[in-house]
Structure 1
């Protein structure tokens, strides 16, 4: 009689335990989706995206969990409706309100994928950059809930969050530090979900015991478990070694496969706009309301091939915040009138832009708007205004960037003459930079009617042709381009900047304020602007007068050695001495026999191989015994490559460790785990232990002995 009374509490207890397990699994899978979304949020600015993906995960799971015992078509339908509503809310939340809502939604949905991949890091959370992660998070949470909660397949339910985690890692690429805490948290949540996994449908109590009105049999569930386990073990066995090798490699960046925003023809060579501006100085380009006087840059050009000046680097889509800038100390509100093109005027260095979609060149910090500038376009830009440089008078030139010191082939002779004059007249780098600016401003004239052109023939005509033929006059295009080339000839890194001189307050910037100017890089002060333009109303001095005077004052080589000019005549009878002068000189040199000099030279040559061997031994000792474990592994690798080169197997600089190992296999010498240790030293130096370093350095000597017979005897003797 008591059996029914006892069975009812047992059923209630069993139902309670089951529901606790289901709730735990749902919570773990929801948090797994949040963690996967947080991985991608590491490259976004602020916490907005993290909150959006967390809300998407909880919203999708809430709908699926509430409808877990309803017909299967109902949950996906309501989930799709919830996704649409949530995406709409995310777009409204991240929109700046400048465009109509319908236009913003269409633009975000159409351009979501390319703009997410081309957005500059840190990515600004705007409608077209949040749509993809929010959509994927919602989809992963919905599928995970259906698999794990409705059908009781918890392992299968872990697959969507795992794929979302992988997508987040792919989006981040090498642009963020390693996130081991995310991986640990993800694995712990997955393990917890599997540990308290929901009971299979046939063991569900009461109203939770049916799926679409019927309880499935135990046999398919058992077969599914066996098949899943088998597939999992096979995947681990096959993919495990490959995954282990990937741990120490740098991930690829998907942004490399997306074409960055492109410049128009008018922006590819902005120097040609100078001549047009000079001819129409009253043309209104844009209105500006600025907080201080500043030079607003349009383009920075560092590469010169003898024909045109061009900018280095690509433009990358950015949000309202530009990375790498300091604290904003300058602001400007700009309204375009007739400027045109895609390049955006801004003072250096821009820190943020609002009301205008932009891309930035991280190398030069110049701005571009993909849609181009049109009349009426307005925006606000904040800049970390570069202060006046200090200590430039004693600073050394910054030669770290080869692009800023590369010279075009065969510059005109007049440039060589001016460079020799600057080197002869001035001593310090700053004096040469300022002296070159003074030389151009004092010897050449400004002519707004001068034709455009800054290739080498045009600059040679500007600098060297007489005034009567149209030379020695030009616009800031010729002055800036000539200065930059000659500066490189005297050892100064230089570039050309195109921009505008904008005063403080509200004003209309005209074409007369457009100008090109050169800049020189100094170690410490950075890029310093120089002005080679002539002063108004000052007549120029013909450059040939100064250059010819320098040639007259410069002594010839014979005079510098004392063999010319008014040297004394040693054939004068008054200077003759008793006896043979040459004989006395020969007797003075007879103190050291000639054969001693030959013997010393031979001994010196004999010591060269010994010196080379000693140098090689010291270098090997330094590489293998000093430094951190990672540095010792790198030193061992360098020694192996050096020994291989002696044997005739040269490894290209661009080859990675695996490719180098394939080439080294031709020597039939064992290098053991050295390639793996090299990758670890390069990408995870902190994980390399002393034991790893000892193992790597211990491979060098056997490798050298093995390939010694393959080294040519002459090289073996001499080195």
Structure 2
């Protein structure tokens, strides 16, 4: 019996340490889906303590290698289990390497609830094992149990910090943590405790009494200190209980989309010019109730038509595939502006609107020529397998952080929701700060757009009636064409709506129809956004001709409802002048604005130029001696290095890569030259506008500072332009850039060589027009090496 009691006392401390580590898994598991993470952390804590207890008779230096070997085995098994749970089929070595590289950022950017995948399990698992190992070695082997509680306590605090405000306060686990720690300290350690030396043994009775009094006084002083600290810090700690914890996720940048995906609306025109390009291969299976009538159909059946691509008008057709949702508009471009969080296979649930019909759509999608990071899916996805994704719950859109690759195959299951169209006629629209983002109208709205919006809203008071009036006006007065240039800034929309028919106005792609609807809707008080996606064939290829954009309006209690402002193919549009006549003093636009180039092909946005510093005066050589010589040598070496790097950058831009990249590089050379000359151009300008500014900048530079001694630069201009050729004109380069933007892959090697000659010639001419001292610093200016591309 005595031995049994001793064994039980000896087991209290190891059990306390293992329980403290396990409680950290309980706390962290509250933000994970399911209980897998909790059990894996519990196993890690128990395993680490058991290894230390089993190896207590071995030398201390041997325990750590044995424990690490056991940790490797437990980690490998745990990664395999979590990979199977997450539906990952990659080899274990590849899964483990990816988890080791990206474990911490993915854990802090994962969506709540976090799926227990290898990359979100590895860090808590290893931390729990190491905390158990350190606590057992210090608390059991060294006999410092209170100090051995420190690693589990730090692990517990780290778990609380990681979950932050994403879970309810961990009250009962914290109480249990304190209780277990107290029990471990209160129960004697059995054999180890009894075998410890008596500090008063061998002392004289008087000395022994004095030592015992001193020990009692020290203990009383320690208790007094603890009680005092509790009295001082208790109220402050209690006051923080109701406070909102700091979310560590705000310190880690979540996955971002590329510039091409930030405004995918401008890709519509490029896809329209290559209608047979295969973007996806889709296989669809639909379960559940049949769809309700399309939300774009009027309540009386005679309003705006239903959209078969959305399921309206033809319940047998598959719902449209959504690529991106664009909520932000600054008067120039529509942008995604989403915040994506790493997500597991199961995505968060989205509430269903009252009265809506929901059917389950399961699609197996294989990527062909679609590029970027945006992952196509039917709205609203709730399960994705075959690809690691990041998810924005506000818009219901997906991205693949690694980017799309040809042959990528994934399966997405979505809850296709169709609102009750009978509720739309009386539905209201929300207002306030919560929807300010989708109600915002950027400054600079042309007056004709405001008058048209006011005219459409004048006789339509209800929100749905206003939306239907805008939809019907666009469908009846404008034509869809495939060769319309891209662009949805205010000038582009003004020309689309009011430009003369014989001059290219009143015609466009779905880009202009959707953007015009969204802007007019916001001008009438409707919260709107633009969606880019594809019509779905159900089974078969999705081609570039299937890509289009549509607007959506947010209704209270119903959600986002799509509209279809595209005209019927069998109807001839009526002239706009029949229903809208602008004042005589403001005639409609007569010239088409320049198209918007794709962000990957256009000049990068630039800030105010960093002008070369004026040369400082040279100090007296007598005063500084050899120091001046050394500084001059360093400065000369730096200038030579900068000049060499600049020259290498220019040659790489103009003569390396395919013809398209060389044309883009030539354009960047011109914009860098303008910035070096103190005349930067903004990234919101069209290519032809930049060319006009470049021509004016060269003329002004020559007029302000005629360079009499720049014969070498003039000879370079003549050599690059060719014998007998006129002076290089950036307008020619702008035309090549527009060709690259709207017809990718058609640029020839000869055109790339001509673009290089124009860029180099213009740069040399602009440099020749600078003062002599600025020409010296031109080639060594570090700006082009660090300016964003």
Do these two structures clear the TM 0.5 threshold for a shared fold by scoring above it?
Answer: yes
Note if 1:291 corresponds to 2:316.
Answer: no
Task: Indicate whether 1:530 and 2:588 are aligned.
Answer: no
Confirm or deny: 8 A CA contact 2:499 2:505 kept in the other structure. yes
Report the equivalent of 2:65.
77
Pairwise CA distance, 1:196:
0.7
2:541 matches 1:508: yes
Distance 1:205 1:423, change over 3 A: closer
SS in 1 for 2:246: coil
Separation in 2, partners of 1:65, 1:224: 32
Task: Specify which of 288, 299, 311 is matched with residue 336 of structure 2.
Answer: 311
Q: Give the 3 Å change call, closer, same or farther, for CA 349–197 of structure 1 in structure 2.
A: farther
Cα distance per residue 1:683-718 (max 9 Å; x no partner): xxxxxxxxxxxxxxxxxxxxxxxxxxxxxxxxxxxx
- Residue 425 of structure 2 is aligned with which of 390, 393, 396? 393
Distance (whole Å) between structure 1 residues aligned to residue 400 and residue 359 of structure 2: 21
Indicate the SS of the match to 1:329. strand
Q: Which residue of 2 aligns with 1:114?
A: 105
Which structure 1 segments of 5+ residues have no match?
Answer: 1-11, 207-217, 552-719
Match of 1:440 among 452, 471, 474: 474
State whether residues 329 and 384 of structure 1, in contact with CA within 8 Å, keep that contact through their aligned partners in structure 2: yes
Q: Which residue matches 2:345?
A: 320
Correspondence list, 1:576-591, <5 A: none
Q: Does 1:255 align with 2:289?
A: no
SS of 2:535's partner is: strand
| CA distance in structure 1 between the aligned counterparts of 2:167 and 2:345, rounded to whole angstroms | 20
Partner residue in 2 for 1:186: 177
* 1-structure distance, mates of 2:270, 2:101: 39
Deviation for aligned residue 1:537: 3.3
Moved more, 542-551 or 439-448: 542-551
Structure 1 stretch displaced more, 237-246 or 371-380: 237-246
1:392 to 1:290, Cα distance in 2 relative to 1, 3 A: same
State the alpha-carbon separation in 1 of the partners of residues 257 and 370 from structure 2.
15
Matches within 5 A, 1:266-665: 266-292=260-286, 293-325=318-350, 329-390=360-421, 391-400=423-432, 401-504=435-538, 506-548=539-581
- What residue is the counterpart of 1:177 in the other structure? 168
SS of the counterpart of 2:444? coil
Confirm or deny: 8 A CA contact 2:478 2:567 kept in the other structure. Answer: yes
CA distance in 2, matches of 1:477, 1:287: 24
CA gap of 1:231–1:296, structure 2 versus 1, over 3 A, is farther
Instruction: Work out which of the residue numbers 14, 19, 35 in structure 1 matches 2:7.
Output: 19
Match of 1:648 in 2: none
- Quote how far apart the aligned CAs of 1:224 are: 11
How many Å apart are 1:469 and its aligned residue?
Answer: 1.5
Q: How big is the shift at 1:363?
A: 1.4
1:265 corresponds in structure 2 to 259
2: distance between equivalents of 1:257 and 1:83? 30
> Residues of 2 paired with 1:395 and 1:349: CA distance?
22
What residue number does 2:156 align with? 165
**Mapped partners of 1:549, 1:308: distance in 2:** 25
Residues of 2 paired with 1:271 and 1:540: CA distance?
24
Secondary structure of the 1:294 match is coil
Change (3 A) 1:230 1:369: farther
The 1:172/1:199 distance shift into structure 2, 3 A limit, reads same
Describe how 1:25-64 pairs up with structure 2 within 5 A.
Answer: 25-64=13-52
Provide the rounded CA distance (Å) in 1 between the counterparts of 2:512 and 2:104.
44
CA distance in 1, matches of 2:25, 2:476: 63
Structure 1 residues 134-143 or 167-176, which shifts more? Answer: 134-143
What displacement does 1:311 show?
Answer: 2.3
Q: What TM-score, normalized to structure 2? A: 0.64
Quick check: 1:145 aligned with 2:176? no
Give unmatched runs, 5+ long, in structure 2.
198-210, 287-317, 352-357, 585-789
Distance in 2, Cα, partners of 1:548 & 1:302: 31
Q: Which has the larger radius of gyration?
A: 1
User: Are the counterparts in 1 of residues 255 and 401 from structure 2 also a CA contact under 8 Å?
Assistant: yes
Shift of 1:420: 2.3
* 1:520-551 alpha-carbon deviations (Å, 9 max, x no partner): 11112211111001111322111111124999
Deviations 1:286-333, CA, capped at 9 Å, x for gaps: 011112411111111111110111124411111111113368711111
Measured against aligned partners, the alpha-carbon deviations of 1:38-91 in whole angstroms (never above 9, x if no partner) come to 101110011110110111111111111112232212222211111111111111
Deviations 1:631-673 (A, max 9, x none): xxxxxxxxxxxxxxxxxxxxxxxxxxxxxxxxxxxxxxxxxxx
Q: CA deviation at 1:188?
A: 1.6
CA contact (8 A) 1:43 1:123 kept: yes
SS in 2 for 1:495: strand
Secondary structure class of the residue paired with 1:148? helix
Aligned to 2:663: none
Shift of 1:184: 1.6
> Matches of 2:217 and 2:154 in 1, distance apart?
25
Report if aligned partners of 2:456, 2:466 keep a CA contact under 8 Å in 1. yes
Could you say which residue in structure 1 is the equivalent of 2:647? none
**Residue 507 of structure 1, CA deviation:** 1.1
CA distance in 2, matches of 1:66, 1:230: 39
For residues 332 and 236 of structure 1, the distance between their equivalents in structure 2, rounded to whole angstroms, comes to: 60
Cα distance, 1:72–1:227 mapped onto 2, change above 3 Å: farther
**What TM-score, normalized to structure 1?**
0.70
What is the rounded CA distance, in whole Å, between the counterparts of 1:70 and 1:228 in structure 2?
Answer: 35
From the superposition, tell whether residues 380 and 475 of structure 1 become closer, same or farther in structure 2 (CA, over 3 Å): same
Give, in whole Å, the separation in 2 of the partners of 1:134 and 1:171: 14
- 1:560-612: per-residue Cα shift (whole Å, max 9, x none)? xxxxxxxxxxxxxxxxxxxxxxxxxxxxxxxxxxxxxxxxxxxxxxxxxxxxx
User: Cα distance 1:498–1:353, how it changes in 2: closer, same or farther (>3 A)?
Assistant: same
The alignment yields a C-alpha RMSD, in angstroms, of 2.7
SS at match of 1:115: helix
